[in-house]
């Protein structure tokens, strides 16, 4: 047991696609390109939301939180992934593995809660438009954002700490691109049934509960939209919610595909919110216009 636990302190080997070395460079290029898009897209949204007064609204406050989360989420794992794909050294230190585990669970759970918060924001905007400014006030926005971040952190502390209590076997080969709970459970020597049951319960909770709340809110939104008499009003209300709905569907579908969960959602989120959003595109044009005037 002492030999098993001491070997864990030496670090782990992230196998990734090392069994298929011909794929490593292809994965490296794709992941690097996606990561650069993630950095540029999410940084742009955060910058615009901060600098443009017209975007100082609850919707863009929550969107900037989502972009900050996506930046932190990818940066916590993708650089290490790129290093492993580029060279022959596939090791990660024990501290690095523990950090990945805590951050991955923290930000993954936070995004689940934050998507529910954004659905609530859209529900009030469409179903209670006259009371929107009163209900979704700055104080409530900060409170909901804090609940999302702290709720995700609480999940991470409990689940990660519980997982790291498992006695690890002598081998250090993690059959994945990063250190996450299922991969860490496979390294354990003892009985992992309780950990597996906890993992299944947490995954079910953070999947079924937020998704159910979001779908119920959109049922009410759909009813409210259908009651709008003008076609222009219905179109505007529909476009207001479409970007968030696409992000939700993308998040929960890619969560089932491992590496896609880390790359697709953070990369595509900024594109969804900028390509379909006149306010963001207008803000970007104004910012670029000011930049040209200064130069």
Query: What average pLDDT does this structure show over 89-100?
Result: 75
Break the chain into its structural domains and give their ranges.
21-280
Query: What average pLDDT does this structure show over 78-88?
Result: 79
21 CB neighbour count, 10 Å cutoff: 10
Q: What is the reported pLDDT for 261?
A: 55
pLDDT at 19 over 90: no
- CATH topology assigned to domain 21-280: Rhopdopsin 7-helix transmembrane proteins (1.20.1070)
108 CB neighbour count, 10 Å cutoff: 21
From residue 110, alpha-carbon distances to 49, 149, 253 in Å are: 20, 5, 17
Q: What is the reported pLDDT for 6?
A: 43
Q: How confident is the model at residue 269 (pLDDT cuts 50, 70, 90)?
A: confident
Helix pair angle (259-275, 278-294), 10° resolution: 80
Q: What is the reported pLDDT for 61?
A: 94
| pLDDT (tens digit per residue) in 21-40 | 667 778 788 888 988 988 98
Q: What is the reported pLDDT for 147?
A: 96
115 CB neighbour count, 10 Å cutoff: 22
pLDDT at 124 over 90: yes
- Is pLDDT larger for residue 198 or for residue 118? 118
Whole-number Å distance between alpha carbons of 294 and 288: 10
Choose the most confident range, by mean pLDDT, from 67-81, 132-146, 166-180.
Answer: 132-146
């Amino acid at each position: 047991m002492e030999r098993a636990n001491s070997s864990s302190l030496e670090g782990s080997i992230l196998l990734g696609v090392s069994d298929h070395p011909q794929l490593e460079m292809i994965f490296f290029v794709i992941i690097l390109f996606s990561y650069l898009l993630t950095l540029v897209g999410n940084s742009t949204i955060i910058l615009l939301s901060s600098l443009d007064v017209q975007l100082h609204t609850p919707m863009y406050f929550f969107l900037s939180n989502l972009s900050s989360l996506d930046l932190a989420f990818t940066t916590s794992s993708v650089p290490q992934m790129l290093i492993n794909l580029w060279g022959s050294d596939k090791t990660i230190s024990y501290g690095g593995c523990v950090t990945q585990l805590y951050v991955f669970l923290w930000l993954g759970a936070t995004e689940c809660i934050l998507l529910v918060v954004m659905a609530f924001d859209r529900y009030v905007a469409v179903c209670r438009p006259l009371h929107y400014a009163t209900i979704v006030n700055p104080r409530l926005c900060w409170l909901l954002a804090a609940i999302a971040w702290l709720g995700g952190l609480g999940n991470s502390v409990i689940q990660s700490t519980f997982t790291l209590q498992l006695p690890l076997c002598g081998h250090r080969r993690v059959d994945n691109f990063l250190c996450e709970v299922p991969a860490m459970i496979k390294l354990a020597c003892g009985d992992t049934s309780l950990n597996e049951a906890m993992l299944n319960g947490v995954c079910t909770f953070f999947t079924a509960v937020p998704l159910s709340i979001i779908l119920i809110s959109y049922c009410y939104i759909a009813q409210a939209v259908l009651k709008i008499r003008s076609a222009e009003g219905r179109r505007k209300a529909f476009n207001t919610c479409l970007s968030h709905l696409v992000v939700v569907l993308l998040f929960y579908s890619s969560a089932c595909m491992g590496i896609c969960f880390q790359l697709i959602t953070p990369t595509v989120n900024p594109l969804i919110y900028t390509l379909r959003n006149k306010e963001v595109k207008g803000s970007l044009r104004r910012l670029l216009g000011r930049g040209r005037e200064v130069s």
